Amino acid sequence: MITVPARRVKQFGVEFYQAGLSAKDIDRLVKFEVLGYSGGPQDEAPKKGRSGARARVNWDMLEKRIAESETAYQRPVIRRKIDELVTYYKECKDAGTLPAIPGAVIITSEKRFTFTPVAGHHDLGLLQIPEEHGVLRVLDGQHRLLALHALSQAGETIAIEVPAVLFDSLDARQIVELFVTINAKHTRLNPSHIISLAGRKLYPDPNQALAHDVIRSLNEDETSPLHGEIKMLGTGRGRVSQAPLAEEIVDFLETVEKLGSGGKIQEIRQGAKRFFLNYVKALSTTFPTAWAGRKYSIKTGAALRAFIRTAPDVMARTRELRRDPFDLNAIREAIKPWSERLRDRRFETEGEWKLKLAGGTRGTVEILTRELRDALR
């Protein structure tokens, strides 16, 4: 155990502590981690800018300390931010006129602490924290602590005490809800990151969870025509953001739920990944030139949203043809009129696509959705 002076605080039934942790304590106890997925396309290595030669951070060493898993909630690390913090910390140390980390970081633990009040003060005392590597996880302030750790790795002695707020009684749902509450507004947490957290952790919304799984499948399945094209968590080399696609899939599921029977929505839930994977495959062969060409906008967020919005009509059309709505060949047959009536040129960036962009992205989605529906009739 390590023992630090602390103040016990209680707000609306939730108890937590305010204390100071040394840089040495942070190195020993804190687990740095980011939300990530294995098995998908890997991000390209960051390009070195002009400041690369002056970099103060040993990224090879630092990244070995950062875990990546589906059970984490932190966003991917922003290198530029850590570089700037490292520089700032050194300037604070050299000048001696400003504190480097005056604001408290927020830390959680799955293991309980022991608080012993001092005589005459029920809220002031000594806090005992289990002395185990990774016992503490950072809820807010991970970049600040990573920058401090980077300096330590570089041999810099930064003898400062970091103010910290420590929670040891929150469950996983409460931790993620607090994380989103802190970050969604103040630091502009990427909407795609929130989608991933919401679908699986923040609250048990089956439609959000399924939308998240469908998009991961489209991005990670090697047979998918959208393999590596979607920015999961708002990062990566893909061109299309995860969040607006997820919103459209949630709307699709809610529409089916309202119009269909309980059995129909269950069928959709079980076959959603198969349907959308085959749907995208069918689109890539229905508009082969546009899909493969660089001067087309068929793989933009606006076009893909329109295709998702038209999914109920496509499924209805396959049923009219007495075919399996989840089957690739059936979907191809259902959307065949699109190749005859819209054709690849509809998606030429400098052609029809640009002409119909006057209403903005929202207007473009609505116009294309209407065209797609009309062409199926």
Q: Write out the two tokens for 129.
A: 């924290």
User: In this predicted structure, what is the pLDDT of residue 39?
Assistant: 40
- The single-letter DSSP state of residue 97 is S
Alpha-carbon distance of 272 to 213, in angstroms, equals 9
Find out whether 163 and 20 touch, Cβ atoms under 8 Å.
yes
pLDDT below 50 — which residues of the chain? 37-55, 203
Alpha-carbon distance of 108 to 68, in angstroms, equals 18
Q: What is the pLDDT of residues 115-153, one digit of tens each?
A: 999 988 889 999 999 988 889 988 888 889 888 888 877
Maximal C-alpha separation, the chain: 84
Q: Write out the two tokens for 62.
A: 């630092």
For 318, other C-beta atoms within 10 Å of its C-beta total: 22
Give the number of residues written for the chain. 377
Q: What is the pLDDT of residues 18-45, one digit of tens each?
A: 999 988 888 889 888 876 644 443 444 4
pTM: 0.57
> DSSP letters along 30-70, please?
EEEEEE--SSSPPPPPPPP-GGGGG----HHHHHHTEEEET
User: In this predicted structure, what is the pLDDT of residue 260?
Assistant: 65
Find out whether 176 and 39 touch, Cβ atoms under 8 Å.
no
Alpha-carbon distance of 321 to 333, in angstroms, equals 9
Distances (CA, A) of 281 to 225, 227, 287, 302, 348: 6, 11, 10, 18, 20
